[in-house]
């Protein structure tokens, strides 16, 4: 490839507007990849934590003992653990008070778990809107750079009497680079957004199923004689 049409030279010699477009797309791509890797680790950790907690929860351990163990462990609890801690804390607090109906303690536990569930899902959804934005807008930003580059190429073509392909090739090439960068930023962001949205939906279903099962256990425990 001739040196004047190398990728570096195309970017360096591109018009200011196209360079700005390329810079925006590069920054969007770097940020989206950072969020992609960060969110992957976060979701995988949430799934592993849920598996480990459910194994402990359904092992037959006393709920009060499980609560004390989680409250005393040195690591920061998350996901299903926080839902359990919030629910059992409210349940135990009201059950110890005199004159409180058993159903009131269960309802308080339900409210506490709903708040914790919403908080956990909100944390999992963090940065997903950014990935969706990058995926939906990057092709159009790249298209703007493409249109601008082609416009400059035809403007240079119209300023001379004898045109040649060599005169318009750099402008068209820089336009195509902007298009490619737009797609490079958009495609991974869209794929990650779809994948993570599905994974978070599955986690949400697991959290809600656990909440209902835990409420059933608390209801039986509250009405036990």
> Contact, 218 vs 91, CB < 8 A?
yes
> Contact, 88 vs 115, CB < 8 A?
no
**What is the pLDDT of the chain when averaged over all its residues?**
85
Per the structure, how many domains does the chain have?
1
Low-confidence spans in the chain with pLDDT less than 70: 1-14, 74, 98, 156-171, 224-225
Domain residues for the domain of 146 are 3-222
Instruction: Give the pLDDT confidence of 89-145 residue by residue, as tens digits.
Output: 998 888 877 677 878 888 999 999 999 999 999 999 999 999 999 999 999 999 988
Token pair of 51 as six digits: 């598996």
User: What does the H/E/C string look like for 90-159?
Assistant: HHHHHHCCCCCCHHHHHHHHHHHHHHHHHHHHHHHHCCHHHHHHHHHHHHHHHHHHHHHHHHHHHHHHHC
Give pTM, 2 decimals.
0.82
Give me the pLDDT at residue 1, please: 42
Packing angle of the helix pair 80-95, 63-72 (nearest 10 deg) = 120
Give me the pLDDT at residue 32, please: 96
């Amino acid at each position: 490839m001739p040196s004047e049409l190398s990728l570096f030279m195309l970017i360096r010699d591109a018009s200011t507007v196209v360079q700005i477009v390329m810079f925006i797309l590069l920054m969007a791509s770097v940020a989206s990849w950072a969020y992609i890797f960060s969110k992957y680790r976060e979701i995988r950790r949430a799934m592993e934590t849920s598996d480990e907690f459910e194994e402990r929860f359904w092992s037959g351990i006393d709920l009060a003992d499980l609560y004390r163990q989680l409250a005393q462990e040195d690591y920061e609890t998350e996901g299903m653990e926080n839902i359990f801690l919030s629910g059992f804390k409210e349940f135990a607090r009201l059950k110890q008070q005199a004159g409180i109906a058993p159903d009131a303690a269960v309802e308080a536990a339900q409210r506490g778990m709903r708040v914790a569930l919403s908080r956990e899902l909100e944390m999992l959804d963090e940065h997903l809107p950014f990935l969706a934005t990058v995926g939906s807008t990057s092709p159009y930003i790249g298209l703007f750079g493409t249109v601008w580059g082609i416009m400059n190429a035809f403007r240079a073509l119209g300023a001379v009497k004898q045109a040649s392909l060599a005169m318009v090739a750099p402008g068209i090439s820089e336009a195509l680079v902007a298009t490619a960068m737009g797609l490079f930023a958009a495609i991974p962001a869209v794929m990650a957004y779809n994948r993570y949205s599905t994974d978070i939906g599955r986690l949400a279903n697991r959290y809600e199923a656990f909440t209902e099962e835990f409420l059933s256990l608390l209801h039986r425990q509250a009405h036990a004689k």
